[in-house]
Structure 1
Amino acid sequence: MKLQDIKIRILELDLKGCIYLNHLSHSSRISQFFKWISRLGDGWFWVIMLLATCWVQAWQSVIPVLYLLMTAAISTLIYKALKHKTIRPRPYQVHQVIVLGERPLDHFSFPSGHTQHAVMATCVLGYIQPILLIFMLPFTVLVALSRMILGLHYPSDVLIGAVLGGVIGGLSIWIAPMYAVQF
């Protein structure tokens, strides 16, 4: 099988997955639920998790939280650079069968910034305060699903966003000064 044939097959599977998941948004209850998840994933949920970390750890959380915010800023720069370099259109812009379920925050699809930030924050905050993983892990999965169900991303956008978020979060923990992430 030629490389070009493999690329075409991957793109076909990507579209099929996108159409399948987007079809779930035809139910108004499912659509409303994932709109709510997506809006919380804009940052509100992560602010609540940061506040929970501060509440549990008190003054000891200041340096780790500042470190997380720095990591989030770096993650944002990486995601924006990739979006503007790849300029992949969103699924609803290309395929008429895809129903847009929520207003996008920017113009391009690749990678999923919501997923990237959710995975990165889950890695770093989960390392700082593992008890919060009870909330963060399911929420991160729901954020990733919401991006496809709402017609904003292809599965490959979400997958690469998750990988990038995991790598950025893992590197952040690995290179952090010991006092920045451990108590």
Structure 2
Amino acid sequence: MNILQNIHAFDVQTFYWCMARKHRAKLTQIGRAISFSADGPMYALVAALVWLAGFETLVCVLAFGFLIERAVYFILKRGFKRHRPADALDDFSSFIIPSDQFSFPSGHTSGAFFIAFCLSEWFPSLNMMLYFWAANVGLSRIFLGVHFPTDTVIGALLGSACAAVAIGVLV
């Protein structure tokens, strides 16, 4: 248990450091747009565009991989039941209303890294842009006050792992 307490203490310290940034208001404003770009309906739009472009195998990878990712995500979310910063910290309110109660792992970050990994396999020239976007999705979730840093780190690992599994199985 001591290691979990140490991780949480580091997480809280890092979270407060992020919240104390000089340009936090601007980061929060930008974070809303970046976070919105990683909402679920955007992934359906990406899949539709990829399908229309004739990349049927990629669409199958996206569908299969998201099924795995969402299943593992919900198991972890309900298993750990980690409170969001607004519920775990005194005198803190997040800048947006999260869609669910618990914070671990970050679903937005997981989905973003899943998409970045999959699309990078088919379109390697977009690699840097996709991962830059995915990393900023994770950062936006912290700056919006709905996730601790480790929530986003594990979300990134979860999304990447699920993409690797889906590609490994279907390609």
Q: Same fold (TM over 0.5)?
A: yes
Moved over 4 A (4+): none
Give the AA of the match of 1:42.
D
Contact 2:109/2:152 (<8 A) preserved: yes
Stretches of structure 1 that go unaligned for 5 or more consecutive residues are 179-183
Q: Identity rate of aligned residues, in percent?
A: 28
- Pairing 1:70–2:48 present: no
Instruction: Tell me the alpha carbon deviations over residues 20-72 of structure 1, each in whole angstroms, 9 at most, x when there is no partner.
Output: 123349743221110111111113554554455446xx32x023213212211
* Residue of structure 2 in register with 1:181 after alignment: none
Query: What is the count of residue pairs matched by the alignment?
Result: 171
Write the distance in 2 (CA, Å) between the matches of 1:53 and 1:25.
Answer: 40
Task: Give SS of 2:82's match.
Answer: coil
Residues 1:97 and 1:26: Cα distance change in structure 2 (over 3 Å)? farther
Residues 1:114 and 1:16: Cα distance change in structure 2 (over 3 Å)? same
Give the AA of the match of 1:165.
G
1:141-156, aligned counterparts within 5 Å? 141-156=135-150
Stretches of structure 2 that go unaligned for 5 or more consecutive residues are none
TM-score (structure 1 length as normaliser)? 0.82
* Residue of structure 2 in register with 1:128 after alignment: 122
Task: Give SS of 2:97's match.
Answer: coil
TM-score (structure 2 length as normaliser)? 0.87
Write the distance in 1 (CA, Å) between the matches of 2:13 and 2:112.
Answer: 24
More helix as a share of residues = 1
Write the distance in 2 (CA, Å) between the matches of 1:83 and 1:117.
Answer: 14
1:87 Cα deviation from its structure 2 partner: 1.0
Write the distance in 2 (CA, Å) between the matches of 1:99 and 1:69.
Answer: 35
- Pairing 1:36–2:33 present: yes
